[in-house]
Structures are given as structure tokens and as C-alpha cells.
Amino acid sequence: MEFRRVADILKNGQPQESVIIKGWVRTKRELKGFAFAEVNDGSSLAGLQIVLDSSLEQYESTLKKINTGSSIEVAGQLVASQGKGQKIELQVSKVTVYGEANPETYPLQKKRHSFEFLREINHLRAKTNTIGAVFRVRNACAKAIHEFFQNKGFLWIHSPIITTSDCEGAGEMFTVTNFDLDKLPKNEEGKVDYSQDFFGKPAFLTVSGQLQAEVMAMAFQNVYTFGPTFRAENSNTSRHLSEFWMIEPEMAFCDLEGDQNLAEEFLKYIFQYVLDHCPEDLEFFNKWIDKTILGNIDNIINHEFERVTYTKAIALLEKASKKFDFPVEWGIDLQSEHERYLAEELFQKPVIVTNYPKDIKAFYMRLDEGEKTVSAMDVLAPGIGEIIGGSQREERLDVLERRMQETNVETDNLWWYLDLRRYGTVPHAGFGLGFERLVQFITGMKNIRDVIPFPRTPDNAEF
């Protein structure tokens, strides 16, 4: 008797093999004299059908305990199924019930639940088909990301979670302190005296690892971050979390074109990997969640991304016969209706828009000749809109200092960032993408809270 995972049995199992499986009962069908149950162990979307015969020891009492949600270990022989739904099934010779699940109180039923309800029983929802598939795909994405970068010789950088740079990028930050909040020490001006705080100055949870990634890129050339980031924005939407994971590659000796090449290659690799490794899960999403995801994934893998400058994109939008809610004019930030028109209607494939007006982009992006635009890029994908944002960074000390002044970024805490331009500066570029939005795109899940195991949003940090 060999312990096997269900996914392995469904793929490789042969009749006559004796196996042991351990898992949770999804459904039970009792007939006169025997019964069927489906056991899922998380290794795959499909469970293994087990057949219990009344000749089993303590058949009646055991069967009563095998309800939806109960945990069992079963031993038996694999046999070709007489039924139509599956090729192989397990003829049970021995059952051990580890834990029962009272059917009168167990919240999960043998039917569909709303995702809103499942969020209220977050600790149980991974036992459902959809959420289970989401986390298998999420894991595959994570593995693909590491594989892609590691194969290319990128170093994985563990950027800090606590930071004292309060201007890393956009967004409100969470404060980190060990002050007794009922007894805050005050200075002469009556303000909180942070010199007495744990780090001797205000500290925060990071909103981005990019600046630290730039530090490491100046020594290792090619690096990437992949870790949690935090935003204290009070934004309640299906696309925002207070805690989410971000991927940020950074490459030295690289310009905007190299950045675009990496972004395109990166996305194609991830999507192909998930397609190869989670075909059942993706079929499931395509059937039950969003019927366009396989088409969208295929579109990304099999088309060269279109590349246009912001200025050209604006001209194309102005020429468009389509009416937009937001008027198009050089200098505006592209609205999602504009992005979708470019990707879904005009080009019908992923589009990289580059060289945006400097006024709508961050201080660290490299100023282009003519000083009207910066070397920024956004990757727009059909079906989702912006999926990646990146730029070539400003590597010229004088220009960076000028840009920081113009955009009112404090230089005091970023002296080290400026030092990178003082000592051995090189052209470099990188991009960032939100991990949960990537998983959302691949699975077609509508709400971002359903693609992270334990979602944190304003007013909610349960579980």
C-alpha cells in the first residue's frame, strides 16, 4: 500500500494498484448496499471517486461519519470505473475517519456559494473548487516568476518591509511604531517626538521595493523583488488591497527598449507556464468564471506586443471614430476606456505605450530629450488594461536633483538614492506589476479579495 496524491492517481493510476489516499470528502451518494464518495486532497481540481461496499467493517456507522467536509484516510485497490464520469476509482478496503464535519452546521454545501459568503468563512473557502483552483494557479504563477528570473541570472532581492523613506512612490503608508499610543512623547512644539520611537525617526511599511532594487542592481546588474507591499489608501474596490505582493525587476545597463523586451518576454513566459501546468484549473475558470480568459492568454502568448509612444497613442485616439467619456488631448493621463480601445479594438493585442508626459509620471523616470516626456512605459493587455508599469530611471545626478525639486520630493531621506548617481551610475530600467492583478487576469476572478489567501482591506483584517 502506497500513499499517493489524488492528482498523481488521476494522471498515472492503473487498475490493480493498491493505494492509500488522505483527504476531505466533497460529496457522498448513498445507494442500497453501497455508496460513492468524492475525496479531494487539494492536489487537483478533480477528486477521486471512492466506492464503499456494505461488506466493509462497521459499514453503517462509518458511512454516517463520512459527510461533506469530513477528513478521511482510505486504503484500497484502484479499479476501472463502471460509471461514466471517471476512468478510475478506488474500491475501498479500509477507512479511517480523522475528523467528522457535522452536516447540520458545516457551512459549505454541495453547491455553489457566493464569493461574498465565502469571504465570511475565509478559513474554509480553500476547500471549494474555485478558490482551490485560484491558489493552485497563484502558486504556479509564483513558481513561473522565480523560474523566469532565475533562469536569466537575476538575483532575488529581499527588499525591506520596514522603511523610513516616506516618499518611495505613491500612496499613503502605514506607520510602524512601538510607542504606547495612549502616552505619545511630545517635543517642544507639541508634536510627536519620533526621536524616541523604535527607529529614532518615523518608520513605515514599504509601498515598493523599487528604490532598494535599484541599489542592488548597481552591484548585481539584474535583480528582482517579489514580496509584500502595503498601502494605507482608503480605497474600496475590486482591484485594491491594503496588503499585496509585487514583482519589480531592475536591470543595470538597460534602456527603455530593453525594459519593454523583458516585460514582453516575462508575460509570455508566465502565461505559457500556467497554461502548461494548470490546464484543468484554467479550463474550469474559462467555463465557470470568465469565458474569455483562454482567448486572452492565447492573445498574449502568440502576438508580438504593439509598441507606440504616448504622443502617437494620443493621435490615434483623436482619430478614432469612437466617442470617449473623457476627452483626449496631449497631456492627459490615459483613462481605462482609452487603454481598452487601444488594446482591444485598435490593435487587438497587447500594447506598450511609452514616453509619457513628465507631469503625470514619477520623479525617478528618465527625462527624454526635449524635456517634455519621460522614458516610462505601460503594458496594456486586452481584457484587463494596464498590467505592467515601468520606466528607464534617471541616472544623471543633476537631472534627478532638479526633478526632485520640481516635484517636491524630499531629498534628506534619499541621500543614498542620489549616491547611486554619484558613484558609478549607469543607465538602468525596470518595471513593476501587482501579483494579485496578474492572478486576477489569468483566472478571470472579478474581485481581488478572492485571489489572495487572507485579504486585508480597509476595515477588514480578519483571519
Which residue among 43, 44, 49, 355 contacts RNA (CB under 7 A)?
49
Which residue among 209, 383, 427, 432 contacts RNA (CB under 7 A)?
432
**Residues constituting the chain:** 463
- What's the CA gap between 150 and 147, in Å, rounded? 5
Q: How far apart are the first and last CA of the chain?
A: 38
Binding part of the chain for RNA, among 9-17, 168-176, 217-225, 364-372 by CB under 7 A, reads 168-176
Interaction between residue 236 and RNA (CB under 7 A): yes
Give, as ranges, the residues between 9 and 38 that touch RNA (CB under 7 A): 27, 29-34, 36, 38
Give, as ranges, the residues between 355 and 394 that touch RNA (CB under 7 A): 386-389
Interaction between residue 221 and RNA (CB under 7 A): no
Give, as ranges, the residues between 316 and 335 that touch RNA (CB under 7 A): 333, 335
Q: Are 437 and 394 in contact (CB under 8 A)?
A: no
Binding part of the chain for RNA, among 3-11, 194-202, 258-266, 430-438 by CB under 7 A, reads 430-438
Q: Are strands 243-252 and 48-53 parallel, antiparallel or unpaired?
A: unpaired
By C-alpha distance, which of 186, 189, 166, 167 is closest to 176? Answer: 166
Q: Give the shortest CB-48-to-RNA separation in angstroms.
A: 11
Strand-pair partners of 73:
22, 96
- In the three-class reduction of DSSP (H, G, I as helix; E, B as strand; rest coil), residue 383 is classed as coil
Please report, for residues 246, 273, 334, 431, the alpha-carbon distance to residue 350 in angstroms, rounded to integers and kept in the order given.
21, 18, 16, 16
Interaction between residue 187 and RNA (CB under 7 A): no
* 448: region left, alpha or beta (phi > 0 left; psi from -120 to 50 alpha): alpha
Which residue among 132, 169, 209, 444 contacts RNA (CB under 7 A)?
169
By C-alpha distance, which of 104, 151, 145, 101 is closest to 127? Answer: 101
Q: Give the shortest CB-157-to-RNA separation in angstroms.
A: 17
Q: What are phi and psi of 428, to 5 degrees?
A: -150, 160
Interaction between residue 276 and RNA (CB under 7 A): no
Binding part of the chain for RNA, among 232-240, 343-351, 399-407, 421-429 by CB under 7 A, reads 232-240
The site map against RNA for 62-101 (x = CB under 7 A) is: -----xx------------xxxxxx--x------------
DSSP 8-state assignment for residue 194: G
Q: Could you give the dihedral angle defined by the CA atoms of residues 21, 137, 132 and 122, in that order, rounded to the nearest 10 degrees?
A: 140
Interaction between residue 103 and RNA (CB under 7 A): yes
Q: Which residue type occupies 23?
A: G
Q: Which three cell numbers stand for residue 70?
A: 469530513
The site map against RNA for 111-150 (x = CB under 7 A) is: xxxx-xx-x-------------------------------
Site residues (CB under 7 A) for RNA?
Answer: 27, 29-34, 36, 38, 49, 51, 67-68, 81-86, 89, 103-104, 107, 109-114, 116-117, 119, 169-171, 208, 231, 233-242, 244, 246, 333, 335-336, 386-389, 432-434, 436-437, 446-449, 458-460
